[in-house]
Structure 1
Amino acid sequence: MSEAVRHRPARAVVIGGSIAGMLAAAAVKDQAGSVEIIESRDLPEGPEPRAGVPQAVHIHLLQSGGVDALEELLPGVIDQLAAAGAHRIPVTTNMVIYSPEGWYRRWHRATHRLMTASRDLTDHVIRRRVLEEPHVNVRTRARVVGLLGDGRRVTGVRVRTSADGAGERETELRADLVIDASGRASRMPRWLAELGIRGVAEDRVDSGLVYASRMYRAPVPTRGWPVISVNADPRLPGPASAGGILPIEGDRWHVSLMGAPGGQPTRDPAAFEPFARTLRHPVIADLLRLAEPLTDVSVTHSTANRRYRYERLGSWPEGLVALGDSVAAFNPVYGQGLSVVARGALALRDLARGGLVPGLSRRAQRAIARPVDAAWALTVGQDIHFSTTTGRNPHFADRLLHRYVSRLSRTATGSFRTATALTDVLTLQAPPASLVRPGVLLSALVGPLRPQLAGPQFTPEELRLLDGARER
């Protein structure tokens, strides 16, 4: 190898211009002389819908574990999101949550903070921040159709570009590191097979939930307004259903309703609020009566939990990493997806600080799997208990664990200590194993220290605003 080649700046190629792709670029930008993001569609200039992201019409949030990771990757970006209209939500101080075990209290002492905004705004702020780097570029209207190299090392990608009126053209793009962030439609298993790497294990657990969402003009100012959530209870007969209202920018409520087979929501606008009234509590329907619909109803059926076990393969090529939904996609009802992406990108960043050196890809793939493991345990650990779920049935250990977590959740309705332990895990700031620490076990044994709430807990100021909305 010549001296010039040995010391040339490293080149990274990222497949996909999603949030995962942008965070992948952020993770390696300090170690690469150039980062090229390959995106099949045009990217919007502002906080507008991005083509090919059907789940963007549904509610999204960043758990506090994802907030912390995002801030480490892009210092100052959380303040930029807030300045653009995103909401910081103290947990559980500004949350009205009806769990299967009862209403959670709105403790005055917040232990975590969520971020809520439209997906379009979150996409825009992160994309704008990453593309400020002069050596990070996007190639739009281009698709990666294969990998270069062999089973030992990936050396680049084959790119098919479409130009207006000129047909398609295929070129080779060399790279020291290729990161697949192409999402649920990832072709990675097929590409690996073409390199001679087969036997990728795939797990798929599908509760059958269907999402229906729309935007509303909120009847009250949304700054400081709580998140509203009515969770499904797998112990109840009939199809599971759930719903949530997130306050977002522009004094809007982003509302999503979910239903399992036999009780799924539809695109019919006239049926949206009546469906909300069928949930375990009518609080969402009562609030929507005061609000003004701004959009039609959007429906998505793709809510299955799916992951590829790349970290378990006996061999993995140098120069290749998979991140985000390319590795694992989750039932969106639990709000883990964006935070898992951010934590995976942070793990990649921390390892890449040592340079794009041999062994990085294998270590990174294993590190990316750790936040996936935590979210998988949470989401699948809940979904397998619904009668409509396919892909896996609960075993004795699953049922025992579910009973224990249910006991913890009931205790959390009246115990700040237990609520904090539970939210540590739910917000991806502690591993699920932390729920069996001696102190947490003792709390579960003692049970809730306060009586259960009889209904949703709104502050006097919130009730005053709602009364004013009713009078109008």
Structure 2
Amino acid sequence: MSEVSRRSPARVVVVGGSMAGMLAAAAVKEHVDTVEIIEAHELPDGSAPRTGVPQAVHIHMLQTGGAEAIETLLPGSTDLLLAAGANRIPVTTNMVIYSPEGWYRRWRRATHHLISASRDLTDFIIREQVLKDPRVSVRTHTRTVGLLGDHRTVTGVRVRTADGSEDELHADLVIDASGRSTRTPQWLAQLGITDLKQDEIDSGLVYASRIYRAPVPTHNWPMIGVQADPRLPGPGNAGGLLPIEGDRWHVSLMGTPGAHPTRDADAFEPFARTLRHPLIADLLAHAEPLTDVSVTHSTANRRHYYERLTHWPEGLIALGDSVAAFNPVYGHGISVAAQGAVALRDLLTKGHATGLARHAQRAIARPIDSAWALATGQDIHFPTTTGKSPTITDRLVHRYVSRLSRTATGSFHAATALTDVLALQAPPTTLVKPSVLLTALLGPLRTPLDRPQLTRAEHDLLSGR
């Protein structure tokens, strides 16, 4: 490796033109000479669907922690999204959420904001900003089929083009952002690194989604969510409705084994009526479906503990779903990838070239830790879940969080503590601070709501006025 590359990687190859891949390029482009993104498919012009992203047909949101991380990497991103029609949703002011413990209040004081848009639009806005940088290029219709180097240092990748020919691309740094389909565990094994630990916790959740034309303008329309309660007998059904660009509603319905939603369009709205409250179904009765129903079964929480490996090769970093993929119901995937990219950027900014890959992998693991605890801490309690069973500690923590959530239905302090964590702006350990423990002990300060808290306009829509 040259003197230049020892100080800072001069040439970076990113595996995958995914959201994580684009954010990885954004993180390193100011510190390198060139970044080449290797993408198996064509990248679309505009906000058209991107091949190889089945989760794009389901609802997506940017948590506050993720939106702020993207803004740090690509200043102006939020304004561009909002100008293109995305919605900025104040938490919990403009959220109608039925948790297992009851209806959350719409507190007048917002603690955070969500950015709600179609995945295709978000992808496009980020991709356009990254690719306008002359240091960043994309090689499409090309698959990465292996790593170059050895167990000490990765020196590039081997790629295969659409006509079957292979080539070697040498690089000072390779970033795997290929998502759930990552081959890094197998590639590491080929280099002699075989002690990788991984977890998979799968509740068996299936997603079915559809886009509707909303009967009203969606500016300032709330996020609607009816959550499953793992304590109840029977399947855990849930649903969410998000306002997206073009005065549309993006609706996703979810069901665990025994009550999976299907692609049958005629069954979509009846399934919405099987949720713990019929609010989403009642709203859809006033809307016009614009798409067919799309279904996905790939919702398992899956994590590779790269940061725990005894040996990690210099010159290789994994980011995003390549490291940890989450049940999409929690809306943390893009946000965690963005926070990991910021961690990588910060290391490069500090000139942390020696041992960069290992330091980066450990830094990337920190936001993953929080999101992993949130996702698996819920999913592990469904009776259909495979991969791991709840321990006594898991059950005690779940009981405490449930009590805090019930308190949050009538306590702004408790609601803020929870949303700080859900927004990925505070670690789960903050939920056991003395002040939060006391709040949970005291319980809700207001009488729990027995129905959703709706505005007059929302009431009028439901009543047909």
Q: Same fold (TM over 0.5)?
A: yes
Structure 2: which 5+ residue stretches go unaligned? Answer: none
User: In 2, are the aligned partners of 1:305 and 1:328 still within 8 Å (CA)?
Assistant: yes
SS in 2 for 1:78: helix
SS in 1 for 2:49: coil
Question: Which SS does the other structure have where 1:386 is aligned?
Answer: coil
1:63-92, Cα deviation, whole Å (9 max, x unpaired): 111111111111111111111111100000
Query: Which residue identity is paired with 1:429?
Result: Q
Matched, 1:454 2:453: no
Conserved 8 A contact 1:212-1:299: yes
Structure-1 separation of matches of 2:15 and 2:410: 47
In the superposition, the TM-score normalised over structure 2's length comes to 0.98
Name the counterpart of 2:20. 20
After superposition, the C-alpha distances for 1:123-148 in whole angstroms (9 at most, x for unaligned) are 00000010110110000011111111
Where do residues 103-122 of structure 1 align in structure 2 (5 Å cutoff)? 103-122=103-122
Cα deviation per residue 1:299-323 (whole Å; 9 max; x = unaligned)? 0000000000000000101110000
Contact kept in structure 1, 2:90 and 2:111, CA below 8 Å:
yes
CA separation of 1:117 and 1:3: change in aligned 2, threshold 3 A: closer
Cα offset, 1:358, TM superposition: 2.1
1:260 aligns with 2:237: no
CA RMSD of aligned residues (A): 1.4
Report the AA paired with residue 431 of structure 2.
Answer: L
Distance, in Å, in 1 between the alignment partners of 2:3 and 2:206 is 57
> Aligned letter for 1:141?
H
Question: After superposition, where does 1:196-345 map in structure 2 within 5 Å?
Answer: 196-345=192-341
The answer on whether the counterparts of 1:215 and 1:254 sit within 8 Å (CA) in structure 2 is: yes
- Cα deviation for residue 35 of structure 1 reads 0.3
Query: Per the alignment, do residues 159 and 447 of structure 1 end up closer, same or farther by CA in structure 2, a change over 3 Å counting?
Result: same
1:410 and 2:406 aligned? yes
Q: Shift of the alpha carbon at 1:278?
A: 0.5
- Structure 1: tracts of 5 or more residues without a match: none
Q: CA deviation at 1:168?
A: 1.9
Equivalent AA in structure 2 for residue 187 of structure 1: R
Q: Is the 8 A contact 2:200 2:302 kept in 1?
A: yes
- Residues 202/42 of structure 1: CA separation in 2 closer, same or farther (3 Å cut): same
Query: 1:55 matched to which residue of 2?
Result: 55
Matching residue of 1:132: 132
2:142 counterpart of 1:146: no
**For 1:171, which of 167, 176, 179 is the aligned residue?**
167
Secondary structure of the residue that 1:168 maps to in structure 2? coil
Identity across matched positions, percent: 72
Query: What secondary structure, in the 3-state scheme, does the structure 1 residue paired with 2:164 have?
Result: strand
What is the letter of the counterpart of residue 341 of structure 2? A
Matching of residues 319-468 of structure 1 within 5 Å = 319-355=315-351, 357-467=353-463
Q: What amino acid sits opposite 1:337 in the alignment?
A: G
Question: Structure 1 residues 6, 436: CA separation in 2 closer, same or farther (over 3 Å shift)?
Answer: closer
Q: Does the 8 A contact of 1:31 with 1:356 survive in 2?
A: no
How far residue 355 of structure 1 moved from its aligned partner, in angstroms, is 3.8
CA distance in 1, matches of 2:4, 2:66: 40
Change (3 A) 1:6 1:257: closer
Assess if the C-alpha contact under 8 Å between 1:410 and 1:448 holds in 2.
yes
Correspondence for 1:44: 44
Identify the residue that residue 35 of structure 1 maps to in structure 2.
35
Shift of 1:186: 0.3
Give the total of aligned pairs: 465
Alpha-carbon displacement from aligned partner over 1:141-198 (angstroms, at most 9, x marks no partner): 1111111111111111111112xxxx22111111111000000000001111111111
Query: Aligned residue for 1:99?
Result: 99
- For the 8 Å contact 2:151–2:313, the answer to whether it is kept is yes
Q: TM-score, normalised by structure 1?
A: 0.97
Distance 1:277 1:4 in 2: 62
Partners of 2:322 and 2:251 lie apart in 1 by 27
Corresponding residue number in structure 1 for 2:79: 79
Read off the aligned partner of 2:153 and give its amino acid letter.
R
Structure 1 residue 461: Cα displacement: 3.0
> Contact 1:142/1:160 (CA < 8 Å) preserved in 2?
yes
Q: Is the 2:182–2:322 Cα contact (8 Å) retained in structure 1? A: yes
Kept after mapping to 2: 8 A contact 1:220/1:466: no
Deviations 1:360-381 (A, max 9, x none): 1000000101111100100000
Counterpart amino acid of residue 153 in structure 1? T
Return closer, same or farther for 1:317/1:466 CA change in 2, 3 Å cut-off: same
CA distance in 1, matches of 2:97, 2:384: 24
Describe the superposition over 1:414-441 as per-residue Cα deviations: whole angstroms up to 9, x where unpaired.
0001100010001100000000001000
CA distance in structure 2 between the partners assigned to 1:3 and 1:107 by the alignment? 56
282 and 51 in structure 1: CA distance in 2 versus 1, 3 angstrom threshold: same
**1:4/1:272 CA distance change after superposition, 3 Å:** closer
The residue type equivalent to 1:36 in the other structure is E
**Paired letter, 1:329:** A
Deviation of residue 384 (structure 1)? 0.6
Distance 1:215-1:76 versus aligned 2 partners, 3 A rule: same
Q: Which aligned segments of 4 or more residues in structure 1 are displaced greater than 3 angstroms?
A: 1-9, 464-467
Q: Does 1:67 align with 2:67?
A: yes
Displacement after TM superposition at 1:3 (Å): 7.3
